[in-house]
Amino acid sequence: MQKKILDVKGLETRFRTDEGVVHAINGVSFEVNEGETVGIVGESGCGKSVTMLSVLRLIPMPPGVISAGSAEFYEQDLLKLSEKEMQSVRGAQIAMIFQDPMTSLNPVLTIGKQLTEPMLLHLSISEEEADRRAVELLEMVGISEAEGRLKDYPHQFSGGMRQRVMIAMALSCNPKVLIADEPTTALDVTIQAQFVDLVKRLQADLGMAIIWITHDLGVIAGLAQRMMVMYGGLFIEEADVKELYANPQHPYTVGLLGSLPRLDGKHAERLVSIDGLPPVLYAPPTSCPFAPRCEFVVEKCLEENPALEEVAPNHKVACWVDIATGRMK
Amino acid sequence: MRSKLLFAFSLLIVASMVLSACAPASTPVADDAEAPAAEETVAEEAPAAEEPAEEASAPALDMKNPDTYVFVTFGEPQTLDPAWTYETTGAAQQNNIYEGMVWFNREDTGSFVPVLSTGWEINETGDIWTFDIREGVTFHEGGTLEPHDVAYSVQRALLQDRLDGPHWMTLEAFFGLYSVEDLAIGDSEKEFSDLSDAELVAACEKVKSAVVADDEAGTVTYNLATATPWFLAMLTNNFLAATYDMEWMVEQGAWDGSCDNWVQWHDPEQENTVLFNVANGTGPYILDHWTPGEEIALVANENYWRAEGDPIWEGGPSGIASIKNVVWKIVDEWGTRQAMFEAGDADFIAVPSQYRPQLEPDYGVICDEAGNCEDASDGYIQAWTDLPSLAMTPAQFNQSINVEGGNPFAGSGELDGNGIPAEFFRDVHIRRAFSYCFDYEAMISDALNGEGIQSQGPIIAGMLGYREGEDPIYSYDPAKCEEEFKLADSDVWETGFYLQIAYNTGNDTRRLSSEILKAGLEAVNPNFSVQVVGMPFAVLLNARRAGKLPIYVGGWLEDFHDPHNWAHPFLHSQGAYGRVVNMEEGLAAEFDALVEEGAALTDTEERRAVYEEIQLKAQEDAPMIWLYQPVGRRHFQHWIKDYYYNPAYPNAAYSYIYALSKGE
Amino acid sequence: MLTYIIRRLFILPLILIGVTMLVFAMLSMLTPYERASLYVSDIPKRQGAIEDIVKKYGLDDPIHIQYWRWMVGQKDEVTGEIDGGILRGDMGFSTVGHMPVAEVIKHRLPATAELALLSAIPLIGLSVWMGIKSAVHHNKLPDQILRVLAIIGWSVPTFVLGLLLLMFFYAKLDWFPPERLSLWASQIVQSGEFTRYTQMNTIDSLLNLRFDIFLDALRHLVLPVITLSIISWAFLLRVTRSSMLDTLRQDYMTTARAKGLNERRVIKGHAVPNALIPVITVGGMTLIGLFNGVVITETIFNYPGLGKFMAASAAMLDVVSVLGMTLFSSFVLVFGNLIVDVLYGIVDPRIRLD
Question: How many residues are there in chain A?
Answer: 329
Q: Do A106 and C255 touch (CB under 8 A)?
A: yes
Residues in B touching C97 (Cβ below 8 Å): 292-293
The CA–CA distances, whole Å, from A42 to A250, A278, B399 equal 13, 10, 97
* C216–chain B nearest CA distance, Å: 7
Decide: helix, strand or coil at residue C62: coil
- What is the average pLDDT across C214-220? 93
The helix-helix angle for C211-248 and C183-190 (nearest 10°) equals 100
Q: Give the pLDDT confidence score for residue B22 in this predicted structure.
A: 47
- Pairwise CB contact (< 8 Å): C30 & B14: no
Query: What Cα–Cα distance (Å) separates residue C51 from each residue in B137, B470, B556, C33?
Result: 43, 42, 22, 8
User: Which residue of C lies nearest to A105 if distances are taken between CA atoms?
Assistant: C252
Distance CA B552, CA B549 (A): 6
B345 chain-C contacts, CB cut-off 8 A: 177, 183
Nearest to A96 among C258, C349, C350 (CB): C258
Cβ contacts of residue A59 below 8 Å, gap of 6+? A13, A50, A53, A65, A66
The pLDDT of C31-56, averaged and rounded, is 83
Helical spans, DSSP H, in chain A: 48-55, 83-89, 111-122, 127-140, 146-149, 159-171, 189-206, 217-221, 241-246, 251-258, 299-303
Q: What's the average model confidence in pLDDT over A299-328? A: 85
Q: What average pLDDT does range C211-231 have in this prediction?
A: 91
User: CB–CB of B164 and C184 under 8 A?
Assistant: no
User: Who among A90, A100, A153 is closest to C260 (CB)?
Assistant: A90
Instruction: State whether C43 and B87 contact (CB < 8 Å).
Output: no
Q: For residue C33, give the chain B residue with the closest CA.
A: B542
pLDDT at residue C8 in the model: 85
A7 forms beta bridges with A31, A72
CA dihedral for C255, C256, C257, C259, sign (positive or negative) = positive
Domain ranges of chain B: 88-325
With contacts defined as CB-CB under 8 Å, which chain A residues touch C266? Answer: none
Shortest CB distance from C252 goes to which of A87, A92, A103?
A103
Residue B469 clears pLDDT 70, i.e. is over it: yes
Q: Cβ distance B156 to B207 under 8 Å?
A: no
Answer whether A104 sits within 8 Å of C273, measured CB to CB.
Answer: no
Residues of C in contact with A87 (CB under 8 A): 260-262
CA distances from A61 to A65, A66, B302, B598 (A): 6, 8, 81, 98
Question: What is the gyration radius of the CA atoms in chain B, in angstroms?
Answer: 28
Instruction: Give chain A's radius of gyration (CA, Å).
Output: 21
DSSP for B494-545, please give it. Answer: HH-EEEEEEEETT-HHHHHHHHHHHHHHHHH-TTEEEEEEEE-HHHHHHHHH
What per-residue confidence (pLDDT) applies to A311?
Answer: 86
- What's the CA gap between B151 and B243, in Å, rounded? 9
- Which residues on A lie below 8 Å from C271 (Cβ)? none
Say yes or no to pLDDT of B43 above 70.
Answer: no
Closest residue of chain C to A90, computed from CA coordinates: C260
Per-residue confidence (pLDDT) for residue B39, from 0 to 100: 33
Question: Measured between alpha carbons, how far apart are the two ends of chain A, in Å?
Answer: 34
Predicted-assembly ipTM surpassing the 0.95 threshold: no
Give, in order, the Cα–Cα distances in Å from C292 to each of B279, B292, B332.
Answer: 34, 19, 20
B424/chain C closest Cα distance in angstroms: 23
| Section B385-406 average pLDDT | 91
Does residue B433 surpass a pLDDT of 60?
A: yes
Q: How many CB atoms lie under 10 A from the CB of residue A71?
A: 26
- Give A221 or A98, the one with higher predicted confidence: A98
Secondary structure of residue C147 in the 3-state scheme:
helix
Could you report the per-residue pLDDT of C307-327, keeping only the tens digit for each? Answer: 999 999 998 889 889 999 999
Report chain C residues whose CB lies below 8 A from the CB of A117.
259, 261, 269
SS3 call for B365: strand
Chains that touch A (3 or more CB pairs under 8 A): C
Kindly identify which residue of chain B lies nearest to residue C41, measuring between CA atoms: B87
- CA atoms of C235 and C116, how far apart (whole Å): 16
Q: What pLDDT does residue B14 have?
A: 62
Give chain B's mean pLDDT.
88
CB-CB contact of C93 with C100 (8 Å): yes
Indicate yes or no: CB of B17 within 8 angstroms of CB of C218: yes
**B26: pLDDT strictly greater than 50:** no
Cβ neighbours of residue B539 closer than 8 Å, sequence gap 6 or more: C34
Per-residue model confidence as pLDDT tens digits over B345-389: 999 999 988 899 999 999 999 999 999 999 988 899 999 999 999
Q: Is B593 exposed, middle or buried (0-12, 13-18, 19+ CB in 10 A)?
A: exposed
pLDDT at A270 over 90: no
The proportion of chain C whose per-residue pLDDT surpasses 90, expressed as a percent, equals: 39
Query: Is a pLDDT exceeding 50 seen at residue C343?
Result: yes
Q: What does the longest C-alpha to C-alpha distance in chain A come to?
A: 66
Which helix (H) or strand (E) is A14 found in, with range? strand A4-17
- Chain A residues in contact with C257 by the CB 8 A cut-off are 58, 90
Residues across chain B: 664
Q: Which of 28-67 (A) contact C at CB < 8 A?
A: 53, 56, 58
pLDDT tens per residue, range B621-655: 999 999 999 999 999 999 999 999 999 999 999 99
C33, C79, C300 ranked by CB distance to B333: nearest: C300
Confidence category of residue C43, pLDDT binned at 50, 70, 90: confident
With a CB cutoff of 8 Å and minimum separation 6, the contacts of C264 are: none
- pLDDT range class, residue A193, cuts 50, 70, 90: confident
Smallest Cβ–Cβ distance between A98 and the set C254, C269, C349 belongs to C254
Q: What residue of B is the nearest CA neighbor of C97?
A: B292
Closest residue in chain C to residue B77, using alpha carbons only: C98
Kindly state the percentage of chain A with pLDDT values over 90.
Answer: 40
From the CB coordinates, do chains A and B have 3 or more pairs under 8 Å? no
In angstroms, the CA B55 to CA B48 distance is: 8
Could you tell me which chain C residue has the CA closest to the CA of A104?
Answer: C252
Chain B, chain C: beta-carbon pairs less than 8 Å apart: 188
Residues of C within 8 A of A90 (CB-CB) are 257-260
Residue C269 with chain A: CB contacts under 8 Å: 109, 117
In B, minimum Cα distance to C211 occurs at B20
**Contact (CB<8Å) C255/A109:** no
Average pLDDT of the residues of chain A: 87
Q: What is the per-residue DSSP string for A218-230? A: HHHHTT-SEEEEE
The pLDDT of residue B1 is above 50: no
Q: Give a three-class secondary structure readout of B280-336.
A: CCCCCEEEEEEECCCEEEEEECCCCCCCCCCCCCCCCCCCCCCCCEEEEEECCCHHH
Does any CB of chain C come closer than 8 Å to the CB of residue A89? yes
Helix (H) or strand (E) holding B221: strand B219-223
Residues of A in contact with C251 (CB under 8 A): 98, 100, 103-104
- What distance in Å separates residue A59's CA from the closest CA in chain C? 9
In sequence order, the 6+-apart residues with CB closer than 8 A to the CB of B366 are B373, B374, B376, B383, B384, B385
Cα gap B11→C324, rounded to integer Å: 37
- pLDDT given at position B53: 37
DSSP state of B138: B
| C43 to B52: CB separation less than 8 angstroms, yes or no | no
Query: Residue A96: what residue type?
Result: M
- The string over C162-177, giving b where at least 16 C-beta atoms fall within 10 Å of a residue's C-beta and e elsewhere, is bbebbbebbbbbbbbb
For residue C77, count CB atoms less than 10 angstroms from its CB and return exposed for 0-12, middle for 13-18, buried for 19 or more: exposed
Q: What are phi and psi of B279, to 5 degrees?
A: -145, 150
Q: What is the tens place of the pLDDT at every residue in B260-314?
A: 989 999 999 888 999 999 999 999 999 999 999 999 999 999 999 999 999 999 9
Cβ–Cβ under 8 Å, residues A110 and A150: yes
Q: Compute the average pLDDT of residues B408-417.
A: 91
Cβ atoms of residues A114 and A106 within 8 Å: yes
Over residues B477-519, the pLDDT tens digits come to 999 999 999 999 888 999 999 999 998 888 888 899 999 999 9
Of C219, C207, C231, the C-alpha closest to C301 is C219
- CATH fold group of domain B88-325: D-Maltodextrin-Binding Protein; domain 2 (3.40.190)
Express as a percent the part of chain A with pLDDT over 70. Answer: 95
Is the pTM value of this prediction over 0.90? no
Question: Which chains would you list as touching B if contact means 3+ CB atom pairs under 8 Å?
Answer: C
Cis peptide before A63 (omega within 30 of 0): yes
Taking the C-alpha atoms of residue C140 and residue A1, their distance in angstroms, rounded to an integer, is: 51
The DSSP line for B79-102 is: -S-TTT--SHHHHHHHHHH---SE
Tell me what percent of the residues of chain B surpass a pLDDT of 90: 72
Strands (DSSP E) contained in B62-161 are 68-73, 102-105, 108-114, 117-122, 128-133
Task: Flag whether pLDDT at A263 surpasses 90.
Answer: no
Looking at CA atoms only, how far is residue C264 from chain A in angstroms? 12
Give all domains of chain C, ordered by start, each with its CATH number: 31-90 (no CATH), 99-347 (1.10.3720.10)
Window C:254-293, CB contacts with A under 8 Å: 254-262, 269-270, 273-274, 277
Residue B32 pLDDT: 34
* Ramachandran angles phi, psi of B344, nearest 5°: 85, 10
Contact across the interface for C184 and B31, Cβ inside 8 Å: yes
